[in-house]
Amino acid sequence: MNQCDLAVIGAGPAGMAAATEGARLGLDTLLLDEQVAPGGQIYRNAEGMRPGDFALLGDEYRRGAELAAAFRASGAHYEPGSTIWHVGADGTLGVLTGTGARLISARRVILAPGAMERPVAIPGWTLPGVMGAGAAQTLLKASGQVPDVPVVIAGSGPLTWLIACQLARAGVAISALLVTTPADRIARALGHLPRALRAGGELLKGIGWIREARSRGIRIVTGVTALAVQGEGRAEALTFTTASGRDSIPASIMLLHEGVIPRIHLSLAARCRHVWDEAQLCWKPETDAWGATSLDRIAVAGDAGGIMGASAAETLGRLAALDAASRLGRISTVERDRTAEPQRAALARHTTVRPLLDQLFRPLAGLLTPDDDATIICRCEEVTMADLRDAVAQGATDANCAKLLTRCGMGPCQGRMCGPAVAAVIARAQNVPVEAVGTWRIRFPVRPLPLAALAALEGGLDAEPEE
């Protein structure tokens, strides 16, 4: 199918809900997703869960199967295994399936690529054995696979506690959980507690994980301010710093986590306007209450528009689909607004806990901009802290200038892994807010594709819009 009313990109909670709602409202809807099955990262393998898996992962994962079933029954078209390499302001999408590329024209596009873990650039983080905590969780959900050696988990955020519990339930030995959440944060975050308490379940769930990790006897080290990986050819030990000095734990698998950030390469490539979110320390597309971006045909739903969590993502997906149906003439704005009322109430409920989480788990500045000169920031092009400091000394005042001087962000990941750190390092070196440093100028193809596939395209592409 090369034309549709509504194209939704990403089959996580936001994308599944948006496509389901779009089809229900009579829009010819197409959901494109990179994975082989619906669920996104949070509900990875939602349709393949065994009964025992919920005891391991938690009951909230049942929601993924419900969303996937509703989506499958919705009548929306579904193309899994599709990589999006272009998003145009006019609703043109470049899609790669296998080795074949094609263009799709959509009257409206909802981008729902979700979130990624915030990269944690510490010394030695490129060594095999170092992974994101979310990567270990993906292996658990998608493949029923767990580490066969003791692991160390390090960082800040609910996922550090959750993955510790999940791996422990699966019988994995956890050498330590190193907590980088500063103790004084807890006192400051208490101000958000009355509001967060209204979220009830969400907050209790998190407290439950902390309790479980403690009751399982996992060694928990709090007040960790710096991390470094040692090893020859692979990770062998994790060194950490606390007020009482430096210590080291031997491990061949270590899982890092400092929260998640929106995936913005598609919205950047489309040239949607982006804003800096100081509370969540990330860039995100500017959106209205329906997820509509600065571009007429493009909306964003779910964590890709700012981190709100899986339940809120569902709601945001439905709101974006309602707005699409209204813009495309299927429903009136009155009907849109009326149908949205219960969704807005749900959204308010789902987001009550967010300010507390943002404040509590805000990453330490020292972890985002390492002091050690040899630390690799750009993993692909192996650009170090020293290289970036040199670039600033040569006059690089923004991320794109640093890119030209050092090649950071020019490797296969196209700056996905180094973008946040590059901006933070330049900002810190110049003592300006990250906002002033800006973010990457991203051009299509936003993911690599074979040149032969591009050459075989019928019709070709229009020139990139100028700013």
Q: By CB under 8 A, is residue 412 in contact with other proteins?
A: yes
Nearer to other proteins by Cβ, of 96 and 356: the residue is 96
Least gap, CB of 467 to other proteins (angstroms): 25
Binding segment toward other proteins, per CB under 8 A, in 239-247, 308-316, 348-356, 374-382: 374-382
145 vs 139: CA distance, rounded Å: 5
Strands 376-378 and 383-384 turn out to be: antiparallel
Buried b (16+ CB within 10 A) or exposed e, 254-272: bbbbbbbbbbbbbbbbbbb
Residue 13 φ/ψ, nearest 5 degrees: -60, -40
Q: How many CA atoms lie within 13 A of 93 on its CB side?
A: 31
Query: 230 has which bridge partners?
Result: 237
Measure the CA angle with vertex 183, ends 182 and 187; round to 5°.
115
Q: Which of 277, 401, 411, 461 binds other proteins (CB under 8 A)?
A: 411
Q: Which of 72, 102, 107, 126 binds other proteins (CB under 8 A)?
A: 126
Q: By CB under 8 A, is residue 355 in contact with other proteins?
A: no
Q: In the numeric block, which tokens belong to residue 446? A: 């936003």
229 vs 155: CA distance, rounded Å: 13
Least gap, CB of 26 to other proteins (angstroms): 33
316 vs 262: CA distance, rounded Å: 14
Nearer to other proteins by Cβ, of 293 and 384: the residue is 384
Binding segment toward other proteins, per CB under 8 A, in 140-148, 239-247, 341-349, 425-433: 140-148
Spell out, one character per residue from 141 to 180, where the chain touches other proteins: x when CB under 8 A holds, - when not: -xxxxxxxx--------------------x----------
Nearer to other proteins by Cβ, of 325 and 385: the residue is 385
Q: Which of 39, 64, 88, 134 binds other proteins (CB under 8 A)?
A: 134
Which single residue is written with the structure tokens 């950047």? Answer: 268
Q: By CB under 8 A, is residue 128 in contact with other proteins?
A: yes
Q: Which of 133, 10, 15, 138 is nearest to 74 (CA)?
A: 15
Residues in contact with other proteins by the rule CB under 8 A: 34-36, 41, 48, 50, 83, 99, 116-117, 119, 126-132, 134-135, 138-139, 142-149, 170, 233-234, 252-253, 263, 379-382, 411-413, 416-417, 448, 450
